Amino acid sequence: MSTAKAATQNACQLCTPLGACLAYRGIEKCVPFLHGSQGCATYIRRYMISHYKEPVDIASSNFSEDTAVFGGSRNLKIGLQNVTKQYKPEVIGLATTCLSETIGDDAGMILKEYLSEFKNGSPLPVMIHASTPSYMGSHIDGFHAAVRSTVKTLAEEGPSGKHVNVFPNMVSPSDLRYLKDVFEAFKCEMVMLPDYSQTLDGGPWGEYHRIPKGGTPASALKKTGQAKVSLEFGATLQSEKSAAGYLEEAFGVASYKMGLPIGIKASDEFYAFLEKVTQTPLPEKFADERRRLVDSYADGHKYVFEKRAVVYGEEDLVVAMAGFLREIGIIPVLCASGGKSGFLKQRLEEIIPDLDELGMSVRDGIDFMDISDDCKALNPDLLIGNSKGFSISRKQHIPLVRIGFPIHDRFGGQRLHHLGYRGTQELFDRIVNTILEKRQSDSPIGYTYM
């Protein structure tokens, strides 16, 4: 619908190392470290703090003009020494930026040199390195790169255990807590990476903590090579880029991949997986959640049926939301993402076979200028995505249902729940109420009974 243009205008994605820093915050006693300029760390901290409402420290090798010309090896080694001394981390998660990648710094080699030079001193943190230039991906690519690099660094071979590896994708702290509750109810041991459910959504502090409590310990991550199976959420994530794919190839750990469990059908698949792995029937409290969700679908059907929505965000979230929207009778007339996996439309066609007949448009590598132009032509009833779509919502008077990351113009983004029957219930209620609010505010009468 839009014409070709020379440059991206307001990208429908964030920078690659941001995703890596988020993943590293899900490892216990880990400090995220950027090999690049201080501005990159400041940008990422700003986005994460505005969404999670928690302090976020991100170290930097602090490139200058000289560093950009002669290389950042010295800066990186000094920075690692300072962080180790000041923070006393057990893990340092290194992510590269556009600048360090462009000048050709080999961060992996520099880390080996550093470990060799200081191996006779005090115990050193575990060093994890992910290559994350923003010109070769988005924040979700950086997220997955960091998760894969973590298991490549830490996983160890050993006798097969009874635990399940869980790679939950880039979901909210509330979703992570829900997943832990589900596994506990099934009495199934899990190792989840990342787990920032506490580090990015914790309680108040009496005094400042340089490294917040929480996260998955490195000792637990060593066991990922000995798991019974890996469960990985990600419809468009390919095995060569995934942690589960690496563990299957390197250690023979079986991999089970599914989309994000949003909606009844997708959640049914998730719980069926757990029933099979644990040989345990679905606990009654989740059966109750499912029954309430089915009942609410019936109650709210008259409000949502044949409404038209534009959905945008990370590809895996868009796929999951599109499947859920069709389940409740909404037509996702545009499914948009800044990601470029090449699998977005294929995965959508798998869950929505009549995609073309419904007149749905699928666009990857898109920016918000394109989305804005498409919205003018499509005239949707709803926008569903993160806060970056608010300008479209405001200008075109289309209500916005906020999901995913970042949400920095509303409070509680870190506590929004998306997954499972309970998360789907919360999403459904919010969507129905957004539609009702629009009807109510547009009414010349302003009636109070809907």
DSSP 369-434: HHHHHHHHHH--SEEEE-GGGHHHHHHHT--EEE-SS---SSS-GGG---SHHHHHHHHHHHHHHH
Residue 309 within a domain: yes
Residue 218 within a domain: yes
pLDDT higher than threshold 90 for residue 237: yes
Residue 350 within a domain: yes
Asked whether residue 421 falls in the same domain as residue 290, the answer is yes
Q: What is the pLDDT of residues 169-205, one digit of tens each?
A: 999 999 999 999 999 999 999 999 999 999 999 999 8
Residue 85 within a domain: yes
Q: Which amino acid is at 448?
A: T
Total domains present in the chain: 3
Per-residue pLDDT, averaged over 45-65, amounts to 90
Residue 302 within a domain: yes
Asked whether residue 422 falls in the same domain as residue 304, the answer is yes
Q: Which of 259, 205, 190 is nearest to 420 (CA)?
A: 259
Q: What is the pLDDT of residue 74?
A: 87
What is the CATH number for 327? 3.40.50.1980
Asked whether residue 149 falls in the same domain as residue 293, the answer is no
Among residues 96, 122, 154, the one where a domain terminates is: 154
pLDDT higher than threshold 70 for residue 121: no
Bridge partners, 166 (sequence order): 192, 231
Reported as a pLDDT band with limits 50, 70 and 90, residue 4 is low
pLDDT higher than threshold 70 for residue 241: yes
Angle at 449 between CA 447 and CA 450, to 5 degrees: 100
Residue 253 within a domain: yes
% residues pLDDT > 70 (the chain):
97
Reported as a pLDDT band with limits 50, 70 and 90, residue 69 is low
Asked whether residue 318 falls in the same domain as residue 412, the answer is yes
Among residues 154, 188, 212, the one where a domain terminates is: 154
Asked whether residue 260 falls in the same domain as residue 403, the answer is no
Per-residue pLDDT, averaged over 390-409, amounts to 96
Residue 413 within a domain: yes
Spatial distance between the Cα atoms of 101 and 110, rounded to a whole number of angstroms? 13
Average pLDDT, the chain: 93
Asked whether residue 437 falls in the same domain as residue 299, the answer is yes
Asked whether residue 239 falls in the same domain as residue 217, the answer is yes
pLDDT higher than threshold 60 for residue 3: no
pLDDT higher than threshold 70 for residue 60: yes
Asked whether residue 313 falls in the same domain as residue 381, the answer is yes
Residue 6 within a domain: no
Asked whether residue 257 falls in the same domain as residue 335, the answer is no
Asked whether residue 306 falls in the same domain as residue 391, the answer is yes
Q: What is the pLDDT of residue 103?
A: 83
Q: What is the pLDDT of residues 301-343, one digit of tens each?
A: 999 999 999 999 999 999 999 999 999 999 999 999 999 999 9
Please indicate whether residue 448 or residue 147 has the higher confidence score (pLDDT). Answer: 147
Asked whether residue 289 falls in the same domain as residue 438, the answer is yes
Report yes or no: 4 and 370 within 8 Å, Cβ to Cβ: no
DSSP, res 241: G
Determine the structural domain holding residue 437 and report its residue range: 284-442
**What is the separation, in whole angstroms, between the first and last Cα of the chain?**
36
Q: What is the pLDDT of residue 1?
A: 46
Among residues 253, 278, 303, the one where a domain terminates is: 278
Per-residue pLDDT, averaged over 237-266, amounts to 96
Per-residue pLDDT, averaged over 421-429, amounts to 98
Asked whether residue 85 falls in the same domain as residue 218, the answer is no
